[in-house]
């Protein structure tokens, strides 16, 4: 799920050995299913754990592990500018994006939340237009954007799609803000200095973003009156899944795919994850699925798929 890493030289799927093809297939299955299921897991985790502590603890611990792994392999010096980049990217990727996602998970069904987060590809294209990037979108992407935002509007302005919560529309806006923040990081991370090790870079960003979230949870009073003893077994299992499986295993598979496949192919998780999240939310979480939400889902996922495919042809 991270655009914080840089791509290594890739080879075509046909040129890869059989064992590598199997690994690639399993890695794709992993990021599709694991990242698609993190939305429902987040919903369960925030039931008895303050939202900012959920994301903060998850990413700080995951970042700490990645940092330790990178340092055990190669003690690359970390400059002040690298720390500055890590703080900025950690804030965009984890503090704002995933912090907002965790807060919204209390008010928005996990399947709808995944659809809102899928708008990252759409926001990325918008930012590139505004910033006059060299990779400015063509007409096909512009049309896809217009259609996609219509689908998002259906999700935001219909409270009955947001679990009937009066805070649902605000939760949807917070989720969209998080998606926009992730897109900002995606576009601008290429212009900033990073360690040569992608594992170290990711670890620093996760630690910075997660640490800031923990500080916000404490200073804002979100953790006041809360005790670890109040954590339910369901939330504890969800938290363990998010930290160990969602962050570490998912990220490792993502890194492997980036080194063996084109980025646009790896990016297909953006329109597969919402489908997985919708299915799990309905089957396991008992989340309602209406005709309007299904139409909005098809519109948003179709828009995101069109944008990613168009980028592949650029």
The secondary structure of 130-199 as a DSSP string is HTT-TT---HHHHHHHHHHHHHHHHHHS-GGGTTT-TTHHHHHHHHHHHHHHHHHHHHHGGGS---S-HH
Whole-structure pTM value: 0.82
Question: Is 11 a domain residue?
Answer: no
Say whether pLDDT at 160 is over 60: no
Instruction: Say if CB 248 and CB 31 are below 8 A apart.
Output: no
Its domain, for residue 73, covers 18-313
20-60 confidence digits (pLDDT tens): 888 888 999 999 999 999 999 999 999 999 999 999 999 99
d(CA 46, CA 171): 14
> Dihedral of the CA atoms 65, 67, 72, 77 (nearest 10)?
-170
Question: Is 207 a domain residue?
Answer: yes
% residues pLDDT > 90 (the chain) = 35
Q: What angle do the packed helices 291-313 and 110-117 form, to 10 degrees? A: 30
Say whether pLDDT at 164 is over 60: no
Q: How many structural domains comprise the chain? A: 1
Question: Is 272 a domain residue?
Answer: yes
Q: What integer is the mean pLDDT of 289-294? A: 77
Per-residue buried b or exposed e for 281-304, using 16+ beta carbons within 10 Å of the residue's own CB? beeeeebebeeebeebbebbbebb
Q: Tokens 């840089």 — which residue?
A: 6
* Nearest alpha-carbon partner for 292 in 176, 167, 155, 159: 155
Select the more confidently predicted residue: 290 or 41: 41
Question: Is 98 a domain residue?
Answer: yes
117-144 confidence digits (pLDDT tens): 888 888 888 887 787 656 556 778 888 8
Question: Is 8 a domain residue?
Answer: no
d(CA 9, CA 60): 30
Instruction: Say if CB 39 and CB 277 are below 8 A apart.
Output: yes
What tokens were used for 223?
């953790």
């Amino acid at each position: 799920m991270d655009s914080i890493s840089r791509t290594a030289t890739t080879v075509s799927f046909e040129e890869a050995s059989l064992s590598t093809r199997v690994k690639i297939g399993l890695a794709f299955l992993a990021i599709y299913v694991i990242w698609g299921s993190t939305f429902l897991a987040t919903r369960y985790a925030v039931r008895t754990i303050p939202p900012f502590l959920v994301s903060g603890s998850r990413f700080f611990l995951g970042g700490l592990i990645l940092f330790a792994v990178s340092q055990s392999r190669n003690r690359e010096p970390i400059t002040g500018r690298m720390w500055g980049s890590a703080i900025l990217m950690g804030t965009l990727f984890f503090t704002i994006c995933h912090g907002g996602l965790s807060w919204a998970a209390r008010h928005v069904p996990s399947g709808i939340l995944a659809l809102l987060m899928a708008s990252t590809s759409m926001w990325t294209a918008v930012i590139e237009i505004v910033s006059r990037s060299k990779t400015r979108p063509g007409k096909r992407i512009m049309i896809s954007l217009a259609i996609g935002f219509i689908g998002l509007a259906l999700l935001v302005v219909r409270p009955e799609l947001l679990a009937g919560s009066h805070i649902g529309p605000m939760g949807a806006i917070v989720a969209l803000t998080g998606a926009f923040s992730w897109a900002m990081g995606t576009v601008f991370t290429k212009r900033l200095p990073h360690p040569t090790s992608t594992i170290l870079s990711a670890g620093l960003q996760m630690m910075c973003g997660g640490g800031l979230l923990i500080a916000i949870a404490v200073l804002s009073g979100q953790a006041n009156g809360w005790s670890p003893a109040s954590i339910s077994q369901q939330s504890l299992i969800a938290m363990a899944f998010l930290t160990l499986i969602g962050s570490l295993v998912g990220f490792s598979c993502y890194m492997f795919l980036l080194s063996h496949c084109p980025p646009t192919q790896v990016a297909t998780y953006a329109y597969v994850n919402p489908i997985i999240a919708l299915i799990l939310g309905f089957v396991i979480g008992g989340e309602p699925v209406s005709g309007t939400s299904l139409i909005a889902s098809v519109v948003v996922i179709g828009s995101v798929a069109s944008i990613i495919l168009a980028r592949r042809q650029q």
